[in-house]
Amino acid sequence: MIMQELQLSEIQGFLIRDYRDMPFAKYFLLQFTDAVKGKKFLKNISEKITTAVNNNESSYMNIGFTSAGLAALGLLQNNMRAFIREFREGMVTSYRQRLLGDHDSSEPAKWNWGGPQNDTIHITVMIFGKDREKIDAHAEECIAEFNQYALKSVFVLDNTTFPEGREHFGFRESISQPIIIGSGVTGHKNDHIRAGEFILGYKNEYGVYPDTPLLHENQGNSSMLDRDPDGSDKKDIGKNGTYFVLRQLKEDVDGFWNFLNEKSKDDNGSINAEASTKLAAKMMGRWPGGAPLVKYPDKDPGILSDDNDFVYTDTDKLGLKCPFGSHARRTNPRDNFEETGPAESLQLTKKHRIMRRVRSYGETYTSSPTQHTPIDEVGILFGCFNADISRQFEFIQYTWANYPKFKQLYADPDPFIGVKENPEAGTEQQFTIPQKTANKYITGLKSFVTVKGGAYFFFPSITVVEYLSTI
Amino acid sequence: MINQNPLTLLTPVKADCFEKLNQILERFKVGLNANLNERFNKLGTLHYARWFILNNDSFRDKPAFPLRERLVFSSNFDGSVEEHVTGLVTVFPEYFDELYDCCEGYPAASERNTETRKNYLVRWKINTTAFYTGAPGRSLKQIQQEDALKNYIWNFVNKNKWHGQSAVQIQKAIQQEVDKNSEFEWSKKQVPVRKVNWPGMIIMSLILLILLPVLIIWILILHFFYERKDKNCYDKRSQLNDDLVRRLEADEDLFNQNQFTQVLVMKPGNARLITVNALMLFARTLIKNFFVQGKLMGIPTIHFARWVLFDNNKHMMFFSNFDGSWNQYLCDFIDKSGWGLTGIFSNTMNFPKTKFLFTGGAYDEEHFLAWSRGTQILTQVWYSAYHHLSIKNIVNNTLIRNELRKNLSEEEAQLFLKRF
């Protein structure tokens, strides 16, 4: 296998680095009100975008476009048509709603942004800073520029990294991440994945180039662009770009811990915090501090851990340590599909990975069985990069999380992100905990995550941002 | 052990009835979500059924000759074709009358009875080239009974506390509980579960080994004189007709199961026909002897699949009923059985580029996925008798039934308890 060298100075930094060194961030969701000015804005901003190589700056900035945004800039219909359908259509279609499970309280019509009732989003400008003052100062500069170039604010998502890396339910977040081969990031070899799973213009895990938007009609200064990697004469707007999924997920931490406390209480009816934490860990596949269940099956080691060096087949084939239905095991099955051996399973898993970029919004709060009543709304800004939204993000959300018949299970959706608020009458939603003898079942699962907004973005290369200013 | 069978009917539509028939099918589709299902359920032997209209436009590539409009009915059922069709027209006479009144030569109103209706339908039966069953030998009744048994056991296990009891003790307790309920009397009888026919497989492998020189020469001929001249599919999913894909998606993921209907034009020439027939023979042999435990070439989500060569071998249809999403299904095809698929489907027009019959093709991910979507057509009416069950569930439920009354060791009993 010949490794293609990544053009890191062309790739937006947030894809390659997680920016944990920048605890504070704001995602501006904006609309172009004047295409000419909008293009000038792009010309101006293209030099300021943080790439995968410049990391010594005091703040970072990345940008992405929705399909409506590219159309508003004047990208010709034929060229818009070249993008993958998921991006062109966006997150809100009746089919996609079904696939992602955005119903009832999560109905797009009720969203704060990105839904049919909200103003159309064209572009997101994301800024990241080391402290509150710096980000505020940076934001002020940005807002002045938005005004200058006639960009209207649709919504602003203030967010931070998590204290101790733990999201509001109490669990350490984003421990297991793919490692893009050639990106310079290091990590476990099982997570080494070919760049084409995340970056357009490089070969993916199938050994082919991912579908990339090609210019079907000449437009703008196309001499800046590379050619189709597949060999046609067409120019490639996708090269070094990627797709970003953004979803605002409200976490009902009070509901969550009340439910778990109830399900794990002692025979005399009193709350058992240890049992409640253990049940939550079984559902997650890791202890709150991040330690994996396959290594610590019985007791919380009470440490903060980023341990990602484990597989399932040899250590826990029957799910006695980490249940098959747990969030971590089903959204990253590692080496354990029952139809294939460990090595082949690992290969299969690699075709459905996402680069997660998850941050916190709302009150800074880490809940536990005994403390779970934040004053303010809390939740996460779930973000992920992938080259094929349908085979990666949507696949994981539907086929592995929402689908209750994952593996040999009968009625087990992902207990964190797959439970339906109003299941069809007579449909049980359960979580099965394999035991040495009789399995334990947690029945009547409830949904504790509500979608409050979402959109699909295209994160182009630095050159393509500049190119877009010439169309 | 009962045999599940396939039936495919290909009935010519009257010249001016195309629109009317479309409307009826549309109404059926809506009805299927409401009360039509009840009627199908009443048959008690029907696993799956579908209807759609086939015409020139159904094919992405130009058909071998101009086609008239035909109504396609396909079903998977228990027992004989005779009994099945008789059952259909008995339970559904008015629906069949309405539908097939749009087709040529259907008996006049005054002449309609079970016999004439049945005779009419059977006349249009076409042969199945290869047929796969995920749970061989299970009748619909057995599937439903074993589902009820599993739910009963699950409730019992979930309701009680089992502290300190061994797996064998729990198994015995379950057994006693089930025995108390006369509804489950049938479960006392063990059912045979199909096993891989290893002697048969060895014989087949030996035959293949003997034929190997011929096969190699044949593949080389195919490569140098046919494959290299092929016109290939370089489509991408994003560039397919949006409306077509949206219409397909509108009917997908409504339940835990989905269906797939694909129509294809065969590549011309005897070399391709001989190749596809040889591969179908190979597939039939493997399905009969090897793929008997719920997996088709390693794919664990298929309930039924069927290949039908028709129109004098000029066209091919492929039908399947599967668990989970389209994406998972197609990715499984690439990851687990890419070579087999490539061998068969590369004999149809405009398949992604292949080399030596079994390589390239399906492994060319993007183009293969686009080819699959681009040649899939809308299944206008679809029925599943048990969309709440995956094929893994069905296979597992039979094992629960059989193991329930076995004398298991403690270790075996522990595995038994993990089945539900």
Residue range B172-230, pLDDT digits in tens: 999 999 999 999 999 999 998 889 999 999 999 999 999 999 999 999 999 999 999 99
Mean pLDDT of A442-459: 98
Mean pLDDT of B160-164: 91
Cα distance between residue B15 and residue B254, in whole Å? 34
Position B31 scores a pLDDT of: 66
Q: What is the pTM of this model?
A: 0.96
Residue from B159, B162, B418, B420 to probe the interface with A (highest A Cβ count within 10 Å): B418
Residue from B325, B389, B396, B399 to probe the interface with A (highest A Cβ count within 10 Å): B325
Antiparallel, parallel or unpaired: β A449-459 and A242-251: antiparallel
B266-300 pLDDT, tens digit per residue, is: 999 999 999 999 999 999 999 999 999 889 988 99
Mean pLDDT of B155-184: 95
Cα distance between residue B103 and residue B126, in whole Å? 16
Query: Shortest Cα distance from B235 to chain A (angstroms)?
Result: 10
Query: Shortest Cα distance from A425 to chain B (angstroms)?
Result: 13
| H-assigned helices in B44-108 | 81-91, 93-100
Q: Which helix (H) or strand (E) holds B119?
A: helix B114-123
Task: Return the amino acid letter for B296.
Answer: L
Closest CA to A320 of A214, A167, A435, A401: A435
Q: Which residues of A touch B364 (CB under 8 A)?
A: 206, 208
Q: Which residues of B touch A207 (CB under 8 A)?
A: 363
Query: Shortest Cα distance from B101 to chain A (angstroms)?
Result: 35
Between positions 417 and 446 of A, the ones with CB within 8 A of B are 434, 436-439, 441, 443
- A1 pLDDT tier (thresholds 50, 70, 90): very low
CA dihedral (A445, A446, A448, A451) positive or negative: positive
Between positions 201 and 220 of A, the ones with CB within 8 A of B are 204, 206-211
Task: Say what angle helices B198-225 and B270-289 make with each other, to 10 degrees.
Answer: 160
Asked if pLDDT for residue B14 goes beyond 50, the answer is yes
Mean pLDDT of B322-350: 93
Cβ contact (<8 Å) for B158 and A443?
A: yes
Mean pLDDT of A25-51: 97
Asked if pLDDT for residue A58 goes beyond 90, the answer is no
Q: What is the ipTM of this complex?
A: 0.94
Cβ atoms of B45 and B87 within 8 Å: the answer is yes
Share of chain A above pLDDT 70, in %: 99
Closest CA to A260 of A283, A288, A239: A283
Task: Return the amino acid letter for B141.
Answer: K
Antiparallel, parallel or unpaired: β A192-193 and A179-180: parallel
A142-185 pLDDT, tens digit per residue, is: 999 999 999 999 999 999 999 999 999 999 999 999 999 999 99
Between positions 122 and 151 of B, the ones with CB within 8 A of A are 150
Query: Shortest Cα distance from B360 to chain A (angstroms)?
Result: 11
Cα distance between residue B43 and residue B239, in whole Å? 43
Mean pLDDT of B385-402: 95
Rounded to the nearest integer, the mean pLDDT of chain A is 96
Task: Say what angle helices B391-404 and B140-159 make with each other, to 10 degrees.
Answer: 70
Position A54 scores a pLDDT of: 78
Residue A223 DSSP one-character state? G
Mean pLDDT of B251-278: 95
Give me the residue spans of the domains in chain B: 1-137+194-389, 140-193+390-417
Cα distance between residue A189 and residue A196, in whole Å? 17
Position B104 scores a pLDDT of: 96
- A247 pLDDT tier (thresholds 50, 70, 90): very high
Q: Which residues of B touch A98 (CB under 8 A)?
A: 253-254
Position B205 scores a pLDDT of: 94
Closest CA to A12 of A462, A469, A456, A386: A462
Residue A222 DSSP one-character state? G
Q: Which residues of A touch B390 (CB under 8 A)?
A: 405
Across the A:B interface, residue pairs with CB atoms under 8 Å apart total 111
B75 contact A CB<8A: no
Q: Which residues of B touch A88 (CB under 8 A)?
A: 238
Cα distance between residue B227 and residue B347, in whole Å? 9
Mean pLDDT of B242-262: 94
A288-308 pLDDT, tens digit per residue, is: 999 999 999 999 999 999 999
Query: Shortest Cα distance from B108 to chain A (angstroms)?
Result: 43
Query: Shortest Cα distance from B256 to chain A (angstroms)?
Result: 7
Residue A395 DSSP one-character state? H
Cα distance between residue A87 and residue A273, in whole Å? 44
- B319 pLDDT tier (thresholds 50, 70, 90): very high
CA dihedral (A207, A211, A216, A219) positive or negative: negative
Helix (H, G, I), strand (E, B) or coil at B177: helix
B222 contact A CB<8A: no
Position A115 scores a pLDDT of: 98
Residues in Cβ contact with B307 at an 8 Å cutoff, skipping those fewer than 6 apart: B128, B129, B130, B131, B280, B283, B316, B317, B318, B344
The residue assigned the tokens 């990345």 is: A62
- B32 pLDDT tier (thresholds 50, 70, 90): low
Cα distance between residue B147 and residue B141, in whole Å? 10
Q: Which residues of B touch A403 (CB under 8 A)?
A: 256, 324-325
Q: For residue B41, report the phi and psi dihedrals to the nearest 5 degrees.
A: -60, -35
Cα distance between residue B279 and residue B267, in whole Å? 15
